[in-house]
Amino acid sequence: MTIKDLARLSGYSLGTVSRVLNNQPNVSEKARQAILSIAQERGFELNESAQLLKQQRSNTVLIIVKGTANELFAGMVEHLQSLFSRTSHPLIVDFIDEDDNEVLRAVKLCRERKPMGVMFLGATNRHFVSDFDKIHVTVDEVSRPGLHLAGFFDHFEPMRIYVCGTVEVAYLQKLSSEERSIIFDHFLSYMCPALIFARGYEPSPECLEIAKKYDVTVLRSKSATSYLMSALIVYLKNALAPRVTRHGVLVEIYGEGVLINGDSGIGKSETAIELVKRGHRLIADDAVEIKKVSSRELMRGIGVINVAKLFGMGAVKDLTSIDLIVNMVPWRDGEAYDRLGMETQYTEILGVKVPSVTIPITPGRNLAVILEVAAMNNRQKRMGYNAAVEFTEQMSKYFTARNDD
């Protein structure tokens, strides 16, 4: 016996029967009792997949508290917990930092917990004005629904973009209309940012209807599924990459991205101009935006001098990876500086360690040449050759041979 048979026998529509079987509201008590009575008489049971896909919204209430050290809010939460303990509605309390976005946090928890309602203690008005009407993608990963369409929602991540390919479409086409409605009603109730159909496949009418119900964006692409997912992941990793802005100058020397740090007035920009005159490229001057894409950083600069007009378009570049950090410091008598470079020093940016060198500055030094040598030496180290180690080994062999004589 199918849902269609149950609808025919009861005299109610498929939608009404589906809502009753999935224990959803907006059904009269008379209709509910009639449908359940016929289902019991005929021994009707939802199939295993549909049973797993039953939509049950929890009766919990969510409270989002902005600020972890607010005594007023702490007292209010304690009182609310006392009041809710006398009801059948469990209370979920979530504390966030002052700088966090309470709207995005609420959307995430609503997708995961499906509470009856949300209360905010402390909020920023602009978040409510700007964030409730937008599609927010906060996860740089893309998935295919796969087993979720069959009712397996363990380890389901509602914040990802989902892509339907040939396998998913073929599976959905074998199902009846009411089964597709049940599947999409549960899957899209998590309100994922977007559902994309690859290879030009048309989304089914049930999908579009349920997507409209939950305000989920449904898109279509002519690209192959694997290519589409790869392109999305690359774009999202770049767009959502952690970033920070540092004071300095970024140049590309012999293909090596070199970030020059130092106090104001020490000569960073002058060194960069000299390097550009010697045929190298300027990426950013004064303010450098650093993005952590993977284990390396990509840079984009906020230019202060118009190098493109002065030296031509070949003298500038939008992005490069950071391969070396040069710290320019004033020369101080008596200070111990590493002249051999036996041990590689590192500077950490956004959790990634980048090789670094410290260059003491004195009047008359040709810094452009020094940075060229430092860049080439760093490239040799990455290729497995360390001149300092080889020099030390040769010196050790020389003195050992002299001692033997």
How many whole angstroms separate alpha carbon 2 and alpha carbon 178?
A: 9
- Which of 32, 131, 286, 379 is catalytic? The answer is 286
- Annotated catalytic, 286? yes
Q: Number of C-alpha atoms within 13 angstroms, CB side, residue 283?
A: 24
Whole-angstrom CA distances from 353 to 291, 326, 344, 386 are: 14, 14, 11, 19
The catalytic position among 97, 339, 402, 404 is 339
CB 93 within 8 A of CB 122: no
Tell me 191's DSSP state: -
CB neighbour class for 355 (10 Å; exposed up to 12, middle 13-18, buried from 19): middle
Is 268 assigned a catalytic role? yes
What is the number of residues in the chain?
Answer: 405
Closest CA to 78 of 61, 93, 62: 93
Residue 99 annotated among the catalytic residues of the structure: no
- Dig out the tokens for 275 from the structure: 């390097």
The single residue of 8, 213, 247, 382 carrying the catalytic annotation is 247
Structure tokens of 7? 């609808």
d(CA 405, CA 395): 16
Give 145's contacts (C-beta < 8 A, 6+ positions apart). 162, 164, 168, 187
Cα–Cα distance between 175 and 159 in angstroms, integer? 26
Q: Which of 19, 127, 186, 268 is catalytic?
A: 268
Does 131 qualify as catalytic in the annotation? no
State the Cα torsion 118-122-128-130 to the nearest 10°: -140
In the three-class reduction of DSSP (H, G, I as helix; E, B as strand; rest coil), residue 259 is classed as: strand
282 is written with which tokens?
């300027």
Residues annotated as part of the active site: 247, 268, 286, 339
